[in-house]
Amino acid sequence: MPNRLIKFIFILSYALFPATAPADNLPDLGSPGLAIYNNQTEAELGRAFIHTLISQYELIYDAETLSYIRRIGHHLASHTQQGRHFRFYIINDPTINAFAGPNGVIGIHSGLILSAESEDELASVIAHEIAHITQQHLARRFEQQDLYSVTSFASLLAAILIGSQDPSAGMATLMGGAGLSLQQQLKFSRIHEHEADHLGIELLNKAGYNPHAMANFFGKLAKQYQHQNVRPPEILLTHPVSETRLAQAVNRASLMPTKPSLHDPLNLKLIQQRLRQHTQTTNQVPFNQSTLDPKAQCYAKNLQAPDTCLNELIKTNPNNRLIKTLYAQQLAQQNPKKGIEALHTLSELYPQDEAIVLRLAQAYINNNQSKQAIKLLSERTPTLLYQATLYQTLGQIYAQQKQLAAAYLYEALAQLDLQQTQRAAYLIKLSSESPPSNNTGIQKQIQRLNEQLNNFEKSKD
């Protein structure tokens, strides 16, 4: 069976624009019929899936880039009205792709970010993946498989979604135990894709993005590779495009009321510069440096070394978060007091931006103010949605001070944020066995986390 078809019919092969079912007559695929894929199963599969991502694939950890993608993702997700838990990650991979994994995990390839010409296009793909999760499409497919191991399934799932290897052999094993025929699986794929298109376009509109961006982006990619004798991008293999499907998406978007754009179009251009300089990722779409926006050129220069053009850039774009943060970082190197004050002001202006908290902590550390960095990270990290990098930074400070109990504690908290409970349990054991900290607050945290992890292990028995 061709690899493309195998991907299309399996759990992760999400065709973007299905040709079945009327646009306003969505099938009812809610949760009442689920028996195996309960909350505990989903959480366990999600932990195994994230472990696979972290241990087997190269992720992007640039703070500003992650914060940008996560802001888009959570802004879109806030309009689902489900209160569901989502986590967004960036894979350092030049292919143009994205995926929806178990327990609200969504991955975006760096190649996709570099290929998007607008934030609307980028958001359209993320919205489609969010819709797959809210409609529990993975749960439905999981119920149809006779699976043998959550860990093995999570690893295979990641390999298929990310496209890191030819999954044909593993597919054959799983497909052999499937309870549905090929024809039935194709039918479910089309239904699921229809829902994801329908609801994804609605999400775009509710979040203030152009609802036509979904059809525009995929139509542009399909046209670009239509007459080229090269393998099309991964996203066109897992999200096949046809004229009929594009027409349906355009029609659906045309029903949405026009809204003014609320996002700064410069942000994506700046983030693309961060990606090009922080990774070895190359864009599948040819990139002409000479056509780069002058503002993005200036930003790119200053990512490498301070350049006077940044002074003018901050004047003409006083409200751009990315430019303000970079300006404050450079100021902290030249005038620590003023730079730290500027970063502190930004952290209050954007209290949920973990990237700014990290930059402020780094400014404290660089200026031999470890106590202030510890105080900042200890107070702010528990209030943030993504905590791993900040807790790891806190652990590194304590490690440099030879306070091993505290160092292991915060590394354990970082691993817990990544849902790596076994690793966290091992680290908290090391923390308990290390010389006690003079800080009674840290000792209490170690005890509480130890009890929490013990209770978690008991609940699994």
| Residue 109, strand partner residues | 91
Query: Looking at 81-95, 139-153, 161-175, 364-378, which range is the least confident one?
Result: 161-175
Q: How far apart are CA 178 and CA 284, in angstroms?
A: 36
Q: What is the residue whose two structure tokens read 């996709």? A: 112
Average pLDDT over residues 264-293: 74
Q: At what angle do helices 440-460 and 421-433 cross, to 10 degrees?
A: 140
| Burial (CB count within 10 angstroms: exposed 0-12, middle 13-18, buried 19+), residue 12 | buried
Q: What is the secondary structure of 196-245 as a DSSP string?
A: HHHHHHHHHHHTTS-TTHHHHHHHHHHHHHHT-SSPPPHHHHHS---HHH
- Residue 205's CB is within 10 A of a number of other CB atoms, namely 21
What pLDDT was estimated at residue 419?
A: 86
What pLDDT was estimated at residue 216?
A: 83
More reliable by pLDDT, 9 or 430 = 430
Q: Give the model confidence (pLDDT) of 374-404 as tens digits.
A: 999 999 999 999 999 999 999 999 999 999 9
Give 10's Cβ-side CA count (13 Å radius). 28
Average pLDDT over residues 230-237: 59
Cα–Cα nearest to 429, from 450, 451, 399, 404: 450
Q: Where in the chain is the domain with CATH 1.25.40.10?
A: 266-282+291-460
Could you tell me which CATH number the domain at 266-282+291-460 has?
A: 1.25.40.10
Three-state secondary-structure class, residue 89: strand
Q: Give the model confidence (pLDDT) of 94-124 as tens digits.
A: 888 888 888 899 999 999 999 999 999 999 9
Average pLDDT over residues 138-159: 62
Average pLDDT over residues 338-367: 98
How many angstroms separate the Cα of 332 from the Cα of each of 73, 381, 385, 414? 31, 22, 26, 27
- φ and ψ at residue 109, rounded to 5 degrees: -75, 145
What pLDDT was estimated at residue 152?
A: 65
What pLDDT was estimated at residue 69?
A: 98
